[in-house]
Structure 1
Amino acid sequence: MHDSIKSLLKRERRLQLTLVIVPIVFIIGNLFFVQSYIRSVDNIVKANDVSERIGTRTIDELWLLVHQQITISDFKADNNIIKVREQLEKLKQKSKTSHEVMTLNIALRLTTMLEKQSNEIIENLKAEAPVATNFELMNSIKNTVEITDDTIENFIGIEIGLSKSRSDNSKRLVVVFLIFESGLLLFNSYAIKKNNRLMVNEIENPINDLKKMSDALAQNHLEYRIQNYPQNELGKLSESMNTMAEQLNVLMAENALKQYNLAQSELRTLQSQITPHFIYNSLDAIISLASLGELDLVQKMTYALSDFFRISLSKGRDFILVEKEIQHITDYLTILKIRYGETLDYKIEIDSTLYHYQMLKIILQPIVENAIYHGTKLVRRTGMIEISGELITNNMHFYVKDNGKGIEKEHLAKLNHDLANGLSSEFNEGYGLFNVNKRLLLYYDNKAKITLDSTYEVGTIVHIVIPTNCIEDERH
């Protein structure tokens, strides 16, 4: 008995010693890879900055020089080419492998070529050479800039490969560490298994059921129902999904009795609220947040998604309060804000006097969706969606403004022309926008309208006018 206890204590001391030594060895060994990885990430960030600077900034600056909108002395004193060279030199000093250095040397030689070409422009300007001479030279500079940018992209690819390799080495050390530590952590196995079972039963299985239901609904199997769901936020979402499916059956039957255009518009609008793409992304985001322990965000996103579906249905009513419509778009933007983080921001400023008026539901959400997916997602800056509303005489005026890609003048004129044609217009693009326009015209006749105002590369404003005194009681 004594020997057995002694042996047990000896093994325990060994395990404790291992628990102390292994982390120290792991940390020391991992420091090298972590530092290398950080260096690679830093190089990637700086190389991205160089790539942005060498592109349109350099071309724009040289065009300003060609058109003499900046002086030669100002250009020589401070220009993007000089800054790019300085940044490339710094990157070269921090680079360790021959492949990195060779790639940066190529980029530096191309930068030297750009300097020579810019000096040629300066000499042409001093000699008052024909403008066409510098225009031809600018074509050559554009090619050089493109090659330089490609070279920097190659360098970024090298750094990504190095960071992955270093990250993999660090992961292998983590695996070794976990193998040594697992023997001392066996007593946690029961708690871990219990927690896993809880996660599977309370989160994973319900989400899988929701994804299966979204698949079924996407394939028009509207009879599909979730039978068992937990008593938590996902349970509320499951209940809302079942309710939505029930209401969809009712709505589809009612729509079949309406005129063709109204039936098509209403059905597509309701189906667009349960597109698998939106549901998949939202549910995947919930899973990711749950695995990271972000339970507050899980709850917030789940409630927003549940409320989004509830307002979309509105017990089969076509008209809802403006306050509910604003809540509907707030839920939608809340979900996207959690998913996209700092790349998306929004502001909603609706005059409170509008809140108690009735309006046709699901008007703003497709417009905001267009603004995001065809506007702000196409630019590098932080996407900003601004929604405002005011009451002017007997009309409600809503504005959806974005700082996205914008629309070119000719295309903008065509879109406004098609919107003005109303129900007679046929369209192959801008589906959400034209669908909303047709629904407004079907319910409000020509008293409602949508117009666009846009500046290319700056942003777009969608102006929606809805009357307050043109709602038939039977449609409430």
Structure 2
Amino acid sequence: MQSKLWKMILLVSSPLMIVIIVIASIGIVYALQYNAILNNVTMASEFNQNFKDDVDLKMYYYVIDSQYSEGLPVREVQSAEMIARKLTETTTKKESLRAINSVLNLCHNLQDKMNEIAETEEYNLREEQLENNIYILTDLIQEYMYTYLYYEAAHLDALQTTMIRNMIVLMAVIVVLSIVLLCFLLRKSRKLSKRIIEPIDKICERLEAIGKGDLLVYKPIQADVEEVQLLTDGIETMVGQLKRLIDKTTEQEKQRRRTELALLQAQINPHFLYNTLDTIIWLIESGEIAEAVTMVSNLSNFFRFSLSRGKNVITLAEEEQHIRSYLEIQKMRYRDLMEYKIDIPDQLKFFTLPKLTLQPLVENALYHGIKNRRRKGYIRVTGREQDECIILEVEDDGAGMTRERLEEVRASLEEESSIEGFGLRAVHRRLRILFGNGYGLTLESTPDIGTRVILTIPKQTAEESGT
């Protein structure tokens, strides 16, 4: 079937291509001829229209030896001769060529006559040569140049008329050929529609029904074309497999969601829980019951927000409470080591983001920034709007990173196999998957000054995120 289609395409396109090539060739030939004649006319137009008057006047002044005499008008004659010589090289029309050759010959004669006058000393004889030679030659030169322009203009007009007439004939040929090819296409298309289009229409209807949920297996649609028959047989074969795959995928998706939730909870560092419980025991043993109760309350809130009733997407307000509970716990553990501040505008708190987005960043700021500095440090979490995005920043005044180390961490965000920066990379890749490449994490750091992690997410409410 494919070979038949190619043959039909070639039968239709080949005549059109041939006609197009012929038209283009004729057009190029006409364009070259037209341009050549037009250049001749343009060059001839450079001929001094006052040639006769100028040369006659200058020769008259020269003959009478007037104070206005500038000598022999050799430059004017040479200019006319140069134009005539160039035109003889590009002129093809016989009449035009005869006229321009006459101009060239007359220019030679004019120079000779001018030299004769220059060699003649008797005034009367010079006057006679001026009347009988110079005036007649300049008149003939100007007349033949006008004759040349006339012939070339006529040739240009005739060429334009011929070109228009031939183009009309070629366009008529194209129209007739197009009508013939169109009739041929319509006839072939009618045959093809019975063999291909009609079965394909039925297949489309069948696919539409499948798309609406009709996954029952029917008898395959009968078609004369082998390829179409294979297609419809394959569709009915795959319908049964599709139903089984959908059921299997649905079950796998449920299992994946359960596993994903479990993995999210498992990401919480178990050492954090052990150390927190140890701190609570120490507070109780030290008699600091109120502090122990506060820490237990914060730990309870921390795990409650971690679970978030099974939701994967929570509001920014919930995420703020989550990291506040975490920071309160750590603040009680590291009393002389850490302070923090959370500054997120209220108008942003109803927007949503993936659960456990900020907690890994805050944990990273504490363990890789503040603790490495070995002095009291400050963690600041801020939020702001920027166009249609929300910018969240986690900043610490800890140890910071060298330029080389910063580049390594930035590179690890994009590498699947990297073992460095797991928490940051997990957050970054999850944001990229959910929202696209325009979102994610950006890192800034200066040694002994601190580190800033900038998180960019789109503005999404619970309704828009589908939660």
Fold match by TM threshold 0.5: no
Q: Which has the larger radius of gyration?
A: 2
- The one of the two structures with greater contact order (alpha-carbon pairs below 8 A, sep at least 6) is 1
Please report the TM-score for the alignment, with normalisation by the length of structure 1: 0.43
Please report the TM-score for the alignment, with normalisation by the length of structure 2: 0.44
